[in-house]
Each structure stands twice: as C-alpha cells, then as structure tokens.
Amino acid sequence: MPHNTDYPTPVNEAERLDALHSLNLLDTGSEECFDRLTQMAADIFQLPITLISLIDEDRQWFKSCVGLSAPETPRDQAFCNYTILGDDIFEVPDTFRDLRFKSNPLVTGEPHIRYYAGAPIMSAGQRVATFCLIDREPRARLDERERSILKALAATASREIEVRSAIRATLAQIASQVSDN
C-alpha cells in the first residue's frame, strides 16, 4: 500500500497495483502509439499539456506526455488519484476554487495546473492509468462531444495496452515452447 495516504485510494488498490505491474509498462521508453494519442488530444482540445499517466504506489509516471519535461510526479500530488476512483471523467474546471487542489504544489508551482480532466484507462478490469487533459488557465467543463472524445482516447489507450500485453504473453509462450524443444 502507498506510504502516504493523504490522497484517496481505490478499495481494490492491491489488485489495481498488481494489474499495473503485470503490464511491465512502468519506466519503459516512449512508444509511437501512445505519443500519437497524447499529441492528438493536445491538438483537438488546444491544450498545453496532455498525458497518459500510470498510477504506481508512490508516483504517477508518464508513459506519454505533451508539454511537460518531468517523467513523473509524487502520487500525493496527483489529480489522477481521483480519476482512478470511478469509471467516469473526473474534471476540475478551476483548481483555485477546489479545496482539494488549490494548495497542491502542481497548482501553486510548475506546471501551474488550473484545469484538469482525466478519464480512467483500464487493463484487466482495473483502472491502471489515466488519460489527462491539463491547462494553465481555468476552462469550462467539457461538453458531451468533448467528453466522448476523451473517453474514446482513453479507450484507445486501454486497447493499446491490452494488445501490448497480449503480444508479450504470446512471445513468452513461444519462448517457453522453443526452450522445451
């Protein structure tokens, strides 16, 4: 379990972390399929920051990122902690008006988050990551069309993760069969 529990965690946190770690995605290099999705989101929503964030025990690690140079941030600062609690989009139109976030170091300092929207990314029935939209200015809530696009981007990221996992499992099975012969 996380060392710092000043943030909400899903009731199934142990299973969620097991699913995340089984993907072997943490601390891996960039991949075009994920980078294409975050760049598409930045272009569609006209945002300075978009990312695919994997929520580990003590950090959120960015598998793909537009507009940030940091590869990760501490989990106790992650807006994504709230996104992984449910199946729907979690949105904060103005971080200065939300008591949960107005003193957050990511709001008061770099990257100066003023708007956040995140959709959960699923794998093995668990919310292992989030697809995040971030602005340095407050924004209106997403309309239905925009919500649909964000959900589609998160679903596409989920599918990419599942395909990657299936390929890895197939390659492991082939390697096992070859070593048995």
Res. 4 pLDDT band, cuts 50 70 90 = very low
**Among 98, 104, 133, which Cα is nearest to 119's?**
133
At 5, the pLDDT band (50, 70, 90 cuts) reads low
pLDDT > 50? residue 3 = no
126 pLDDT higher than 60: yes
Q: Rounded to the nearest 5 degrees, what angle is found at the Cα of 95, between the Cα atoms of 90 and 98?
A: 80
Average pLDDT over residues 120-137: 97
Q: Does domain 13-180 have CATH number 3.30.450.40?
A: yes
Mean pLDDT of the chain: 93
Its pTM stands at: 0.91
Give the C-alpha separation, 36 to 86, whole Å.
Answer: 26
